[in-house]
Amino acid sequence: MSKYYAFEEQTQTAFSAEVSPLILAPLDDIKCMETILLPSGNLITDATVVSNWLKTQRITIIDNCNEIKSSINKFESERIAEYNNAKGYLQDNIFNNKQENENRLVPTSIIALSAFFTGRIMCHKNFGWLATGGPTSISSSLIKSLPSRIITPWVFLCTTFAIGSPKTWNNFTKIINDHYISKDVSEVIHTTRDNVYNVLINAPTQSINHFSEITLPETVKQIRKKCLDLLQIT
């Protein structure tokens, strides 16, 4: 006959075998088995070793989950802080011209991207630079060379963006020169850029201006004078 303790009366009473806990008799003699009276008045037989192991595993899993969650939250907070810092830095040091940001930045970026792809197409090996049936020229070979295919699209992009949004471009180049390029290299780049500008852009422009302002009017004047002389002779 098994026994249990009634929760309400807290007195020891007997109950029949039909309602006794379904526990094998040999388990009653195992030291790791423990019978516990719950506050509800029910008796449970607990394997202490197994329960303690499960409790330890549950606590470990909960701690690991909390640690992973804390790491994820910390990572998200750090990334958000980095994003906000980068955004603030760009707004304060590069994109700080309101007029260009509102009216010119987006169209300039689209046109610059189009210029980049134009440079890629122009430098492609299958682009039709050659005359029909003609041999390979030196200029087409230079344009289709590997350095040209790498540099030309970026030159087109940077030049287009510099023309469309000059203040933003100047801010960008200033940041690059001050923080990422040494002073000596920066001086060499500026000198080379000025020389290329003078040879390829400034000199032809001055020649065109000189031709349009001085040579062309003088030539027209001489032609008119010759025409008048011919009319007077006739």
Domain assignments of the chain as residue spans, ordered by start? 3-49, 98-180
DSSP state of 209: H
What is the value of pTM for the model shown?
0.53
SS3 36: strand
Chain CA centroid to CA 114, Å: 20
DSSP state of 17: G
pLDDT at res. 134: 44
pLDDT in tens, 223-232: 777 777 767 7
Run of H or E residues at 12? strand 12-14
pLDDT at res. 198: 65
pLDDT at res. 15: 44
pLDDT in tens, 68-119: 999 999 999 999 999 999 999 988 988 988 888 889 889 999 999 998 998 8
Report residue 47: phi and psi, to 5°: -85, 105
Strand partners, 14: 3
pLDDT at res. 152: 83
DSSP state of 19: G
What length is written for the chain?
234
pLDDT in tens, 156-199: 888 888 888 889 988 998 888 888 877 777 777 777 767 666 66
**Of 209 and 42, which is predicted with more confidence?**
42
Query: Is a pLDDT exceeding 90 seen at residue 36?
Result: no
